[in-house]
Copies of this chain bind each other. A is one copy, B any other.
């Protein structure tokens, strides 16, 4: 088109200006809008998350459910007609929650609803019985000397507040990941935390204890909010509060899991370039993994399927990767980055879904400055869905982290997280928490920008590789934002 228009100098100038103002060709934008609107009426995403939660259910790394999930995903991808369906092996830990009894024994005996945190060691058969030392922050915990904490149980009573962005999760999950290290250094026998979550119901939120892969040396246990209220009430009465903990949590030998991969092959000269769609197949063991991350699996799979069925192959290859073991320490994502290091520059953009099924309210990015106009133009396609344009500091979904650090640009759609952390990592993460219309609004947003990314000439530039080490548990790193991505 451009060449023809340039037959006349005046038209050429005009057309160039038009192209600069419209980074997305009209036909691509039109098709993206069509797919977007079609997604609002579709049922495939809901059917996928229904099947995964009802037929596989909990699928923590290394478990029988994990293996069943890999099999489910391979059959699902093949059944939907994706190309190059395959698994890539991932070595994963196999932690078993076992049983936990957590009881206040004095002054007012009561049983607590609590759960061991992922990677926690168990207790001896006799358990641990000790006095509680309550603090409300990591700083307060660091300020305790050994004499105060030694032989006792640290209780970190920080309440996470819900918000649309889910921003409270950064501080809360940092307490979960760092509190037990800091307490152990000061001689504590175990750590209790008020859950890193916002459930108003009586669910303890699990989650990984690991930070930089360093194993936990003392049990780390999360209390449901109501039970943290109970413990706090008793502490505030002023008498010593003693708690007894018995846990059979333990590690079994490592297991093999897999990233499951399928593709919508590109066509023509851009076919070697990859638009990477990511979600994680594993879940915690307590719920059926509906919002975390069945919803993500459903969204990105539905997106790929809609483009597969749209009549014309995309120019770039759309690669759908359902990652293994996001929850513990991103084993699947690390393995993918290792396997595909040579092809890193072919991965022109990554887009992941890992914050539930709430309505998408923002498009964030981390792309080269020169590509911001393109992302702004993509955002215009999402405005009818009520999506705002966010900043260019997104990290992308956690599973995209290793590839982003190695220079892959990312887009990130923020789902409304006001309720996400009510259910996140609890037994209450079940299918009934997913609203079909909200889920489809998400699919609509993802499919529009995925379609564009796969069908335009431009790409998103490259990022400067990020070689920073993982953050430590020192006070200097407390302000680090791990969420939103």
Give A residues with C-beta under 8 Å from B.
50, 54-58, 108, 110-111, 113, 200-203, 225-226, 229-230, 233-234, 287-288, 426-428, 430-432
Contact = CB atoms under 8 A, between A and B. Distances in A.
A110 B57 contact: yes
Given A427-B202, A428-B202, A432-B225, A108 B57 contact: yes
Contacts of A54: 108, 230, 233-234
A233 B50 contact: yes
A55 B432 contact: no
A229 B113 contact: no
Contact of A430 (B226, B234, B431): B226
Given A113-B427, A229-B432, A108 B56 contact: yes
A163 to B, nearest CB: 19
11 contacts: A54-B233, A58-B111, A200-B432, A201-B203, A201-B428, A202-B427, A202-B428, A202-B430, A229-B430, A230-B288, A230-B430
A431 B110 contact: no
Contacts of A110: 57-58, 288
A288 B233 CA distance: 14
Contacts of A230: 54, 57, 288, 430
A232 to B, nearest CB: 10
B56 A229 contact: no
Contacts of A428: 201-202, 226
Nearest 6 Cβ contacts at the A-B interface: A226-B430, A57-B110, A201-B201, A55-B108, A54-B233, A202-B428
A58 B202 CA distance: 14
Contacts of A229: 430-432
Contacts of A234: 54
A108 B58 CA distance: 12
Interface centre among A111, A200, A430, by most B CB within 10 Å?
Answer: A430
Contacts of A203: 201-202
Nearest to A232: B54
A56 B287 CA distance: 30
Nearest to A56: B108
Given A201-B203, A202-B426, 16 more contacts: A50-B233, A54-B108, A54-B230, A55-B108, A57-B230, A113-B427, A201-B201, A202-B203, A202-B428, A202-B430, A225-B432, A226-B428, A226-B430, A229-B431, A230-B288, A230-B430
A226 B54 CA distance: 10
Nearest to A110: B57
Nearest to A104: B57
A200 B203 CA distance: 13
Nearest to A200: B432
A229 B229 CA distance: 31
Contacts of A226: 288, 428, 430-432
A431 B111 CA distance: 15
